[in-house]
A and B are shown apart, each in its own frame.
Chain A
Amino acid sequence: MDAAAKSKLIKGSTGDWEIVIGMEVHAQVTSQAKLFSGASTAFGGEPNAHVSLIDAAMPGMLPVINEECVAQAVRTGLGLKAQINLRSVFDRKNYFYPDLPQGYQISQYKSPVVGEGEVVVDLPEETIRVGIERLHLEQDAGKSLHDRHPTMSFVDLNRSGVALMEIVSKPDLRSPEDAKAYVMKLRSILRYLGTCDGDMEKGNLRADVNVSVRKPGAPLGTRCEIKNVNSIRFIGQAIEHEARRQIEIIEDGGAIEQETRLFDPVRGETRSMRSKEEAHDYRYFPDPDLLPLELAPEFVEALRTSLPELPDEKKHRFVADYALSGYDADVLVAERESAEFFEAVVCGGASRRDAKTAANWVINELFGRLNKEGREIGASPVGAEQLGIILDLLAEGTISGKIAKDVFEIVWNEGGDPRAIVEARGLKQVTDTGEIERAVDAIIAANPDKAEQAKTKPAVVGWFVGQVIKSSGGKANPQAVNTLLRQKLGV
């Protein structure tokens, strides 16, 4: 066991334990219409508005598959470097619940549309490869509201029939951090592909987490499934709590029962959801209303050639072409919009701008400001072109680094062309030696004792540089100031 794996073990009273985690992620397919009907997938809306007679399971209604949902599933499979199955089958998963009017969910059981693939996850200390077991298409259910009436539940079928991709990982994750990083990476890939918007707040991406524990090297333990965890943070907390709960039971001489549990974010714990006699018994069988889904190899190839550049490839290109660090590249490629913004800054000028400087400005200044105000990069008041001009002004020595930050702030608040702002507000860096000389003379004259000190303690020169730049309102060129000061102070 290597150091990284060892650091993930958790201590119990009988020694170290290893957590084994597999995930089933439900991702809502980005599409206009539902998987088997022509009703809208729009979020919200009046109750039962986006519902066709098919979604309401009226007798005699027949499902017809939305070809774009199939294409989205195949794109996702290709993005996960997975096997695309040219023949897959839809099955009925039977269970009773008021928000499932059909009495079954149309899903894929034995023959999913996508087979084995892989997601590469970069962690601070290591890179892990998480196996994908399968991806299949299925219908979402409706929504029940239990808090509006003392004796009745309210049912809204707007979600009923919306296409979901269930993406099942192999049990390759070993810590809450692994699991969180995996979901973030998966979300990033889906968003790049445009196959799922990854919005966890709206429930468009949610995870079922399978957790078991074992002594390092021992066979797999009995797992519990934590259903419907809907934030990255909760995924970490749920695993942490569930692993400790299982270890406690085993160390007290008990055994883990395979069961479905719910994570309660308020209490930060998991609790049992279904009693044993209601354990899964879905009685799957092929849906007789639907023929097998057969894909032409040309259809798959056309989708393959139209795939966008994905985060891994983009990262490698950023490191190779722009000489960025792996860390900077990771931060920039996590969201497609951020990566595109960065490239627009670097490549949007008359000649290519310095990539390292551009990366620093995008990551530190821009992301910092966006985070502070809780904005997405798409809603940034400072555009790539404007930031590019600020970097030009900086590179050509028209403004100093400090003034550049001021200009960024002005553009953020008021908008406008940075070059015109610098001109109109007199923010140009002073490189005119005559003007700097006058400032230097004034500061030296006002501080004769420090001027004397500087002769023996060269560090004091730095103090003078600061004073001169301050007196110029940040506009004096620091290098020119430094050279002049050293001359005048005779150091």
Chain B
Amino acid sequence: MSVDADTVRRIAHLARIAVAEDEISHLQGELNAILAFVEQLAAVDVANVEPMTSVTPMAMKKRPDVVTDGEIAEQVLRNAPATQDGFFLVPKVVE
């Protein structure tokens, strides 16, 4: 499996990362190197093997339906570059 230049542009766009045109071929090479590395896994026969979800057999942890968190707007907003009246401010996302 390998990616072409258009796929690189598309992935960058989906991730909302600005990639200049002259960076594309370099990134394409890097991505293909990573894919080639992962490709080695294809050598293993995994037919009839359940995907492993945990190294030790365990059940999913669950929480009771009780309010134990929140009401910390100040902490939630502390790292935001811009806030007003308790809201996060972001560059306008609609025209």
Contacts and interface: CB of A to CB of B under 8 A. Distances in A.
Interface string B81-92: 010111111111
B16 A96 contact: yes
Nearest to B91: A152
Given A66-B63, A67-B63, A39 B93 contact: no
Contacts of A69: 65
Interface residues of B, number: 38
Interface string A270-294: 0000000000010100100011111
B73 A64 contact: no
A149 B89 contact: yes
B62 A152 contact: no
Given A292-B60, A293-B60, A155 B73 contact: no
Q: Interface residue tally of chain A, by bracket? A: 35 or more
A33 B68 contact: yes
Contact of B88 (A65, A70, A155): A155
Chain A contact residues: over half helix, strand or loop, or mixed?
loop
Interface string B37-73: 0000000000000010110001111111111111111
B73 to A, nearest CB: 4
B84 A53 contact: no
Interface string A20-61: 000000000001110001111000001111111111100000
A151 interface: yes
B63 A38 contact: yes
Contact of B15 (A38, A70, A96): A96
Interface centre among B53, B70, B84 (most CB of A within 10 A): B70
B88 A48 contact: yes
B3 interface: no
8 contacts: A32-B65, A33-B63, A52-B72, A53-B69, A145-B87, A149-B84, A291-B59, A294-B59
Please give me the 8 A-B residue pairs with the lowest Cβ-Cβ distance, nearest first: A68-B65, A39-B70, A38-B68, A38-B69, A52-B69, A154-B87, A47-B86, A67-B62
